Amino acid sequence: MEKLCKFFENLDEFVYVADIDTYEIVYMNRKTLDEYGYSSLDEVKGKKCYEVLQKSATPCTICNNAMLEEGRFKEWRYFNPLLNKHLLLKDTMMQDNGRRYRIELALDATTEEVKNGMIREYQNLEEIVNEGLRLALRAPMPDDSINVLLEYIGKELDCERIYIFEKDDRGYDNNTYEWCTSGVEPQIQNLKNLSPDVCESWYHNFSHDKNIMIEYLEDIKDSNRMLYNVLAPQNIHSLAVVPLYDDGKIIGFYGVDNPPARSLEYSTNMLKIMGHFIVSALKRRDLVKELETMGMTDQLTKLGNRFAMDRYISEIRPESSIGAVYCDITGLKRVNDSQGHIAGDNLIIRASQCLARTFDGYGVFRIGGDELLALCPGISEHDMTALVEKLRTDMPDYNVIMAVGAIWRSSNKESMDRLLSESEKLMYEDKARYYANANIDRRR
């Protein structure tokens, strides 16, 4: 690796090397150091590549580390808004002493006009927008597209933070996406369920086709104290915000914090143009989620299906306690045969409602025609026993009888298949006891 870096040192291309697994920079050649304003490698060595090269607080959404292969170069183009340069990139992966390294060579492909300073004025706004959309459309999922676009716009506008707020069914505003530059603390977790009166003045302006531009936050300290008290703790001194429309209805807003004061109007125009694509990506996201929900939901009971159960299990921590409650709806075949399948379906629905109500907050699934399952990660043995007893007590209220097999473990380290198998076995034992006590011949 040391010999290779010496070879790169005096190349006319931009070159850097970073650890793929940690994102730590191990090398930048002289041209790259100079371009980013560093005098020596010691100033950047060990720092995260996304912090140094992209001024981002998190790994870049367009990072292609997962696609790199040793001995092969991946070529692509990218307009770097921090350098104001169009770059032709060549990336590869190299292994050395058990570590995997990303090696990137970048050729400046910027036109002579851009090199001479004709950069980012309104006449090439269209080109910048198209580049952002091109990058976003390469992303595999709508969420990825949104994050890629926010990162691109945030860098292009040289802002500290860019965000999307969506209005929920109650009229509350929720920060759902954000990108922050390096050194800026994310706020997305602190900006949920904002009451309608916080941004009321903004929505009033939106309804009159007005955008929000605040050059100095202190200017609104007296006129809008509530909004000021939300913005000031975030170290905001200026911002630009535009509404998001869907079929003429305002569904939220998005904006940037602390862009250069001279570019507030430019930022607003960029946001307005990109807003149409943001809304389109949000609608595609909602469609994907709806389709995913349908694929994970039992259509009769609205409980999770086996696919949902598998996903739920994959997210349970091994050290967590776990309870499994395996249920069988007793008498379903008799109801189907004597009263019809509509009555049988209603019996399944009632049993599902009974189980879901008792184990509200845990994973509840329909895993077979007459088989239901509740999985309870993190539950205590005492609480588990109490809920199973409550389930048995509540069954008459739903006019349903279920055989129940319940099992609890202090950790989830053993095979989940074994846990389910044991709970199923207990369920069949409970079912046999019921038929024996009721003196019912199950063969009839």
pLDDT digits (tens, 9 = 90+) for 21-40: 999 999 999 999 999 999 99
User: Would you call 235 exposed, middle or buried from its count of C-beta atoms within 10 A (0-12, 13-18, 19+)?
Assistant: middle
CA–chain centroid gap for 418, Å, is 32
Q: Which residue has the tokens 């539950």?
A: 379
Boundaries of domain holding 133: 122-294
CATH code of residue 82: 3.30.450.20
CA 435 → CA 239, 359, 429, 439, 444, distances in Å?
Answer: 70, 26, 10, 6, 12
Rounded mean pLDDT, 344-370: 95
The pLDDT tens digits of the residues spanning 367-379 come to: 988 999 999 999 9
Comparing 205 with 289, the larger pLDDT belongs to: 205
pLDDT at 133 over 90: no
- Which of residues 89, 111, 133 is at a domain's end? 111
Closest CA to 14 of 42, 34, 39: 34
Of 88, 111, 134, the position where a domain reaches its end is: 111
Same domain, 15 and 128: no
Kindly state the helix (H) or strand (E) to which residue 361 belongs, with its residue range.
none
pLDDT at 4: 67
Which residues make Cβ contacts (< 8 Å) with residue 243, sequence separation at least 6? 203, 206, 211, 250, 252, 253, 275
Q: pLDDT at residue 96 above 90?
A: no
Out of 272, 294, 316, a domain closes at: 294
15 and 48 both lie in a single domain: yes
Q: Is 140 found in the same domain as 275?
A: yes
> Within this chain, do residues 244 and 213 fall inside the same structural domain, yes or no?
yes
What is the pLDDT confidence band of residue 111, given thresholds at 50, 70 and 90? Answer: low
Element (H, E) at 165: strand 161-167
- What confidence score (pLDDT) does residue 114 get? 43
| Averaged pLDDT of the chain | 88
pLDDT, tens digit, 9 for 90 and up, residues 51-82: 999 888 889 888 889 889 887 888 887 878 78
What pLDDT does residue 122 have? 45
Q: What Å distances lie between residue 98 and 20, 95, 223, 317, CA to CA? A: 12, 6, 61, 29
**For the segment 248-293, what is each residue's pLDDT rounded down to a tens digit?**
899 999 999 999 877 888 888 889 888 888 988 898 888 778 877 7
